[in-house]
Amino acid sequence: MADGRDTQGGCAPLFGGWTGAGAWGAGRGAQQFTSGAGQHQIVSVGMGKRAGMKLQDMNTPLVRFAVPALIVVAVTAGMAVWGLQPASGWTGEVSAWRSPFAVHPGLWVSLLVGFGACLVSTWVWALKPADPAAILFAVSGLTTLMFSVSSTVWLFAMVLPDSAYMTAAIINCIGASGFGIVMMCLFLIYPVKLPYWRWLMAATVLGFGAVTYWVMFGPSPDFMLVHPITFWEMVGIFVLVGWQIFATRGDPAQRSIALWLGAAVVLGAGGFISTVAFPHTFGFLPLLNENIAFGFFLLIYAALTVGLMRFRVFGLGGWAFQLMFHFLAALGVLALDLALIGMLSFEPGAAFSVALLLAAAVYLPVRSLAWRKLSGQARPDEAELFRSVIDIALRPSGEQRAERWRKLMRDVFGPLEIKAVEAGGAKVRVEDEGTLMLLPAAADSPPLSLRYRNGGRALYSPKDVALATQIVKLMRYAEENRNAYDRGVSEERARIARDIHDNIGAQLLRALHSRESGRKDAMIRETLTDIRDVINNAQGAEAPMEDVLADLRAETADRLEPHGVMLSWNLHAAPGALLSRQKVHALRALIREAVSNTIKHAEARSVEVTIRLDADWLSLKVTDDGKGMPAQTASLGNGLGNMKLRVESFGGDISLEGGEGTCLAARIPVFEMAAE
């Protein structure tokens, strides 16, 4: 070329360079375009795609987490090795290192805090790399690593150069102040963006950043002034968290997260401020070693991780209240203890006991009142709840039960919206981050969805799930008992119908065919007695079998005599055997129904009745020498069906055979057993 540059397959710079048209231009899959200098460049499309695919494969949550994590592990491990070095200086001989138990515990706490905070925040960022809140969270983890790890150099046994201490102090100051700045920026946009958040974020960064720079590099540097800076940053964090709680009052899910983060800040930042930053700011000695107090920051990172990942949001509000209440109780005990010792000259042991007693006396009622006011959830009266469930179960119609069930759910949980859904599942569950609770079918109502607890002022919590589950179980138990009652009523009606058909009908038929008026009157009186037995179900004591069957034998003979039918009566039972009233009633009904069928249909000349009672079974066999009963006839009519139901209700069995004569055979167990 005219400018003398080599263009034969040469490699060009990445931006604005030249490339030859020889080897590259002749290659397949190449693309030519014009550079900014008006010259042509050739780029391999295939190679570009492969490079892009490799970069895309690298951009995964695992890779995004692994690279920073390896750096954090290396830094933490390196500082741990430095901390184990003896006072004599650096040595590679492990045997000469100090025992881990001889090292100040604050060193291990600081390394653990920096390591844990940075890993947790990096993990959240790796999962949500484009989320501004996750990015700020990751930066806060880096600042925590800076101030916690750099503070350990003063716990080393070996003496470092002055430049090393100066560098560590600068890193510590930047990290401590940077943590407060980043956390304030985070709470300006999370859970919701506060009004004027851009201006406030800029003011926070510039204001606290300028003060921090002046403290480190001003005319008279004083790194101890970082404590007042962090103190006021923590105050700013408290204010922003309170603002977030106020700003999210109309959104239960966001408010739950704000409350959770507020509780974490009260415990984490409040713990560090009250033990280190506050005493330093006002000229007192810290209550805890600074490195030990760093452990409070792990609470903030644990809570922020849960909040940013929105894990079980519907339970965070309750947990937040519990954490804040317990922390405030501990602070109350500590404050009373110090007041009693300093102002009233109590002994430490006595002061702690009195402080604990006074704090408990004040704390417990205040906690209960505050919980009801802040959570907006009053525990329903269990007796009233039970009455409501029973009232629903005893409603006569399914429509009424379903409507009352909806009303109960509205009274207990106060949802903005109740809808029937097609598939609610078998268990109570919460969805949509606690804004929706699904109930299974109950009280003749389809599955229901309850949206927005307390009119949208709260989320459904695990306690709500437990309460709803308890109500559903109670409702189903009441329904089962109501259904059992309904079945009992139906069975009693069926029993009365069978007894009227089998016994009363047979008695009236017997009286109808009687030719003697006196005998007819006696039969009618016996029928009235049977009616009373049917109504009362004859639940009295056991009766002697011989007496009962003697009366039944005479009655059967009287019924057959007008029709010219001979009776053969066979009883096989031990003398003095007793039989329950129910089985006597069943035996009487079976014999009466069998004899009625013989009189009506068989045209028989004789009937044989055989009754046998052994240790396990009461057996009955009634045969006649009539024309028999066809198989299809045996399955017709209420009489035979009633006999079958009556026997099976005792757990027995019955059979009917036709042909030359008819044979009815039945067995009833002596001892009670449920029919299958």
CA-wise closest residue to 408 among 429, 391, 425, 423: 391
Q: pLDDT, tens digit, for every residue of 85-98?
A: 998 888 888 888 99
User: What are 543-567's pLDDT values in tens digits?
Assistant: 777 777 887 888 888 888 888 889 9
**Residue 664 to residues 274, 443, 590, 611, 655, Cα–Cα distance (Å):** 95, 46, 9, 12, 6
User: CA 237, CA 185: separation in Å to the nearest integer?
Assistant: 9
Query: Residue 70's pLDDT is what?
Result: 92
* Alpha-carbon dihedral 133, 138, 143, 145, rounded to 10 degrees: 150
Of 87-96, 158-167, 411-420, the least confident: 411-420
For residues 645-671, average pLDDT = 83
The greatest distance separating any two alpha carbons of the chain, rounded to the nearest whole angstrom, comes to 149
Q: According to the model, what pLDDT value does residue 568 have? A: 92
Residue 445, both tokens: 């109502």
Q: pTM for the complete prediction?
A: 0.51
Identify which of 634, 633, 533 has the alpha carbon closest to the alpha carbon of residue 588.
533
- Residue 288 — φ and ψ, nearest 5°? -130, 155
Strand residue runs (E) in 625-661: 653-657
Return the pLDDT at 226. Answer: 86
Here the tokens at position 51 are 């490079």
pLDDT digits (tens, 9 = 90+) for 36-91: 444 444 444 444 555 444 545 567 888 888 888 899 999 999 999 999 999 888 88
User: Quick one: pLDDT band at residue 370, thresholds 50, 70, 90?
Assistant: low
Q: Report how far apart, in Å, the C-alpha atoms of 641 and of each of 534, 591, 636, 637, 656 are.
A: 18, 14, 7, 7, 11
Rounded CA-CA distance 195/452 in Å is 26
pLDDT of 277 > 90? The answer is no
Task: Check the CA dihedral 108-114-120-126 and report its sign.
Answer: negative
What gap in Å lies between CA 519 and CA 558, rounded to an integer? 10
pLDDT tier for residue 325 given thresholds of 50, 70 and 90: low
List, in order, residues 6 or more apart from 55 with CB less than 8 Å away. none
CA gap 434, 460 in Å, rounded: 5
- CATH of region 59-311: 1.20.1070
Residue 317, number of CB atoms within 10 A of its CB = 26
Pairing of strands 606-613, 566-572: parallel
Coil, strand or helix at 165: helix
Measured between alpha carbons, how far is 657 from 629 in angstroms, rounded to an integer? 8
Q: Which two tokens stand for residue 411?
A: 């009274």
Q: What is the pLDDT of residue 610?
A: 93
Report how far apart the first and last C-alpha atoms of the chain are (Å, whole number). Answer: 105
Q: What is the mean pLDDT of residues 607-633?
A: 82
Three-state secondary structure readout of 648-667: HHCCCEEEEECCCCEEEEEE
Q: 104: which residues sit within 8 A by CB, 6+ positions away?
A: 155, 291
For the chain, the C-alpha Rg in angstroms (whole number) is 46
Say which CATH superfamily domain 538-669 falls into.
Histidine kinase-like ATPase, C-terminal domain (3.30.565.10)
pLDDT band at 579 (very low <50, low <70, confident <90, very high): confident
Nearest to 257 by CA among 433, 375, 127: 433
Q: For the chain, percent helix, then strand, then coil, each to nearest 5? A: 65, 10, 25
What pairs with residue 667 in β-bridges? 619, 653
Instruction: Render the burial of 385-395: b for 16+ CB within 10 Å, e for the rest.
Output: beebbeebbeb
| Torsion sign, CA atoms 404, 408, 414, 418 | negative
303, 311 Cβ separation under 8 angstroms:
no
Tokens encoding 343: 């102002």
State percent of the chain over pLDDT 90: 15
Q: Could you tell me whether strands 448-451 and 566-572 are parallel, antiparallel, or unpaired per DSSP bridges?
A: unpaired
* Integer Cα distance of 243 and 193 in angstroms: 11
Write down the pLDDT at residue 41.
46
The answer to whether residue 174 scores a pLDDT higher than 60 is yes
Q: Looking at the predicted structure, is the pLDDT value of residue 542 above 80?
A: no
Is it the case that residue 261 has pLDDT exceeding 80?
no
Structure-token match 């009745």, residue found: 609
What are the tens digits of pLDDT across the range 228-249? 898 899 889 889 988 988 888 7
Residues 6+ apart with CB under 8 A from 398: 444
pLDDT above 60 for 210: yes
Q: In what order do the strands lie in the sheet with 662-669?
A: 566-572, 606-613, 617-624, 662-669, 653-657
* pLDDT-above-70 percentage for the chain: 71
- Establish how many alpha carbons lie within 13 A of residue 333's alpha carbon, considering only the half-sphere containing its beta carbon: 17
Distance set, CA 184 to CA 237, 238, 587, 663 (Å) = 5, 9, 90, 97
Nearest to 468 by CA among 416, 420, 405, 514: 405
More confident residue, 28 or 638: 638
For residue 252, what are the CA distances in angstroms to 259, 316, 321, 459? 10, 11, 15, 5
> Structural domain boundaries of the chain?
1-58, 59-311, 382-485, 538-669
CA angle at 431 for the pair 429 and 435, rounded to the nearest 5°: 110
CB neighbour list of residue 95: distance below 8 Å, 6 or more residues apart? none
**DSSP three-state, residue 97:** coil
Distance, in Å, from the CA atom of 139 to the CA atom of 120, rounded to the nearest integer, reads 11
Q: Give the containing element (helix H, strand E) for 572.
A: strand 566-572
Residue with more model confidence, 202 or 630? 202
The pLDDT-based confidence of 199 (bands split at 50, 70, 90) is: very high
Q: Across residues 563-581, what is the average pLDDT?
A: 84
Reply yes or no on whether the pLDDT at 113 is more than 70: yes
Is pLDDT of 34 > 50? Answer: no
The residue-averaged pLDDT of 414-428 equals 79
| CA separation, residue 213 to residues 216, 225, 615 (Å) | 5, 11, 104
How would residue 445 be classed by pLDDT, with cut points 50, 70 and 90? Answer: confident
Using alpha carbons only, give the angle 324, 329, 333 rounded to the nearest 5 degrees: 150
